[in-house]
Structures are given as C-alpha cells and as structure tokens.
Amino acid sequence: MSTMTYREACKQAIRQCLLEEPRAFMMGEDIGDYGGCYGVTKGLLAEFGPGRIRDAPLAESGFVGAGVGAAMGGMRPIVEIMTCNFALLALDQLINNAATLRHMSGGKVGVPLVVRMATGGGRQLAAQHSHSFEGWFAHVPGLRILVPATVTDARHMLRTALREADPVLLFEHVFLYTMEGELDDTVKAVDIDKAAIRRPGKDLSILTSGNTVWKSLEAATALASDGIDVEVVDLRVLRPLDDETIMASVKKTHRVLVVDEGWRSGGISAELFARVCEQAFDELDAAPMRVCTAEVPIPYPKHLEDAALPQPATIAAAARQVLGRSGRMPRA
C-alpha cells in the first residue's frame, strides 16, 4: 500500500495512458501551462508537449466535438471539461453524436472518447460550478458513466475506460481532489462494470457513489456505536448499473437507503428505487428512503451549502428512520 491524493491518482492515470497509448492525447480548458483548474494536469505539458496536452478555447461544444471527430478517426482522446455544469454546453456533441453514432451506423462507427469532468459541491464554488449531473447523463443509452470515489479507482478507472470502444464519462468529485487515501499497489486494473461493497453489514444497505460514499461510511461508523450494522455499496458505475451487486445487498439486509448528491426529482435515486422494487420488492422489510441534495441551486455561503448537501448526520438520521419504520421483525 502507498498513500497519495485523489488529485495525484488522477494525474498518474492520465500519465500512464499517454505513456502506454501512442494514440492518446488530452484536450481541455487550462490544462497546459496552468496545470488544470484543479491542478490535475500540472507538469504534463512539460513532459508530453503541446501535441498531446492541448489547451482548448472556452468553447465546450467545439472541443468536445473535436474529441468526437478524433475518436472516430482512430485516436484515443481524453477530453477534460472543467466542471460538469459546463458539459451542458456540449450536450449536442455528447448525446446526439458520441452516444448515438454506434447505433446510427449499424455498429460500424464507434466513438472511443473519454470525457473527464469535476462534479459536486462542498467547495463554495456557487451554483454554476457545483451541481451533480452524472444522473442526467446516466439516462442516455450509448454512454458509460463512471464515478470513482477512491484513490485506487481514480488511479485505474481511466486506463480501463480508454480501452472502451464507445464513449465513457468520468465524474470526479471536486471535494475529493485533496483527499489522501491508500493506493492498493497490487491493483493494476479496475472493473468498470461492477459496484463495490465498501463496508459489509446486515441491517441496512446504503446505495451511493462519489463523495457521498465517504459521508455514508462516516454515518455507518456513527450508527455502529448504536449497534446498527450498515452495508455501504459504492455504485461506481451509474450506467450500466450493477443490478446483481445491488440486489444481493438488498436481499441480505432487507432495507435500503439511497444517498445521492443529485436532486431528488427525476434523479438516479428514483431509478434505484424502481429497480429495487421491480427486482427485490418481496425482500424489503421497510419502505426505502433517500437522502438527496435540496431542490435548490447550490448556495455559495458555506452554512447554506452544507445544509443543502447530504451530510453524515442526515444520512444517519434517515437510516434510523428506515430501521424504525420496519413493518416486521428483523430477520435472523
């Protein structure tokens, strides 16, 4: 085991991809001399040169479109969008082009494009830089949606994604960049199909991803002092969802809490509810609950931002509610 920051893990992932894959290059806003808005690409321009670390103009539709074209032409582009809020300016390229060309060409044309972007709140960057739109993109067939929560996933998911024949969107939570964590040196590749059990338990399943994995783990630790044994499922992949791992957890604990930094209305939390009810309804001992971001644009003041986002205390309180409204006695 070694220790590094999530930011450094992302940087080393990019570096490895550029070293191993001669067709790979990176393109995005301020990724060259500036080193990236979050410092992820610092030093890569000096190492790889402007041919492979390309600063793009502030025109997401343009440079994402260039990435789509490069991927169709046989390259392996890694495109960085500064924040997922700005990805909305490239929806036409991502959804009408990258996600559909395999289907519209009868399987003849793929778009092996990887798009990295920061997501989420907690850094007081206000509404236009702090939302979580990974659930929106998970609605779209043709895209694979990855949400690395750990240093090991941040280090290795990109390499696996770059080998995909179709577009992959990687959402890196802005709050995690400075987080230090253990990197498992024995891991050389990461499965981008499967969820991961970050904490096993028997009383309640928390289904979550990204930064709320860590908040859920903190809540689980607090609940353990009251004798409540929580299982934390890191979804990791929002499209396609790993139904097998999710349902296995539900069938073990018989109670579900979904924690999502996206909004409740029309969000990924609703999709998870539907799937659990469709596939494991008879296993439930209580109605599922969810903790989501308040239905407001993310506020700038810290006390309001904290109040809007899911927090360990609100997660723990919701977990107690699920357990308290159980319709029958806990199973052995």
Q: Catalytic amino acids?
A: 60, 129
- List the beta bridge partners of residue 288: none
Exposure string (b/e) for 187-211, b if CB count within 10 Å is 16 or more?
eeebebeebbebbebebbbbbbbbb
The H or E element containing residue 234 is strand 230-234
Integer Cα distance of 76 and 99 in angstroms: 16
**Can you tell me the distance from the alpha carbon of 205 to that of 78, in angstroms, rounded to the nearest whole number?**
35
Q: How far apart are the first and last CA of the chain?
A: 37
Q: What Cα–Cα distance (Å) separates residue 220 from each residue in 62, 118, 199, 226, 273?
A: 44, 26, 9, 10, 21
Cα 147 to Cα 157: distance, rounded to the nearest angstrom: 9
Distance CA 68, CA 82 (A): 17
**For the chain, how many residues are written?**
332
Do 312 and 219 form a contact (C-beta atoms < 8 A)? yes
Cα-to-chain-centroid distance, residue 46: 29
What is the β-pairing status of strands 2-5 and 180-183? antiparallel
Among 118, 129, 173, 182, CA closest to 149: 173
Measured at the alpha carbon of residue 240, what is the angle toward residues 236 and 245, in degrees to the nearest 5?
60
